Structure 1
Amino acid sequence: MIKLTFCLRRLPHLSREEFQDYWLNHHGPLVRSFMQAMRVRRYVQTHSLGDAALSAGLALSRGAPEPFDGIAELYWDSREDIEAVGRDPAGREAGRVLLEDERKFIDLAQSPLWYNEEREIIALGETSHAR
């Protein structure tokens, strides 16, 4: 599978709560409505907890930048599926509509995105019995 990872920062005029509400309750259903045209197999939103105290020591120990407000992950079966979306008028229109909506709540210039493949190191449900 090929995955698009999109690390999101909200527009400055939005609170974290406003951003997450719009993303979950407006943009999420919009993405779902285009899943066939875009050949998307899976879509996951990861929302930040917004708990500065919980993350402060972790960020400080690594010299990390300001945290993201969330991460979006979209999955496709293959690179060919992604390329087919670009050739399909319905796929291109879906991309246009989604980008137009993203401009309403995401600071696009501060939100990196890239295609990638996962390499699972610890599987769900796996336990260690080392002694």
Structure 2
Amino acid sequence: MIKLTFCLVRLPHLTREAFQDYWFNTHAPLVRSVAGALRIRRYVQLHSFDPEISKGTRASRGGPEQYDGVAELWWDSFEDMAASGEAAAEAGRLLLEDEKRFIDLARSPLWWGEEKTIIG
């Protein structure tokens, strides 16, 4: 399995609560509606808590400001993704257009990886 991890920063005009509400109640159903075309095996949203909760931990490590959330998506393989064709390309365009409504894409890193389980 391969995994896409997307660390999300909200657009400046949105509160964290408004961002997370839109992401969960509007964007997530959109992802669900195109999951078959994109061959997504699993999709998880990790919503951050109030930044004050982790302020001390971040400060002790000299860490940056936290993200507003993290999206995790799994596929069987790059080859399986590539086989999904034009329907997937259209679904990807649809999701990107929606992401532009609430995510500061320039400040939201994403990368492909493979999980290596240590515990659990």
**Normalised by the size of structure 1, how large is the TM-score?**
0.89
Q: Partner of 1:34: helix, strand, or coil?
A: helix
Quote the residue 2:34 is aligned against: 34
5+ residue gaps, structure 2: none
> Deviation string for 1:21-67 (max 9, x for gaps)?
00000000000000000000000000001141x20111011111110
> Deviation string for 1:102-127 (max 9, x for gaps)?
0000000000000000000000xxxx
CA RMSD of aligned residues (A): 0.8
The 5-angstrom pairing of residues 94-105 of structure 1 reads 94-105=91-102
| Number of corresponding residues | 120
1:92 to 89, 93, 105: 89
Q: 2:55, 2:50 → 1: CA distance?
A: 11
Q: 2:80, 2:107 → 1: CA distance?
A: 27
Quote the residue 2:58 is aligned against: 59
Quote the residue 1:106 is aligned against: 103
Matched to 1:26, the amino acid is T
> Deviation string for 1:56-82 (max 9, x for gaps)?
111011111110000000100112122
Cα contact 2:51–2:66 (8 A) shared by 1: no
Matched to 1:78, the amino acid is S
Q: Partner of 1:19: helix, strand, or coil?
A: helix
Quote the residue 2:80 is aligned against: 81
* Identical amino acids, percent of aligned pairs: 64
Q: Partner of 1:119: helix, strand, or coil?
A: coil
Runs of 4+ in 1 over 3 A off after TM superposition: none
Quote the residue 1:48 is aligned against: 48
Quote the residue 1:22 is aligned against: 22
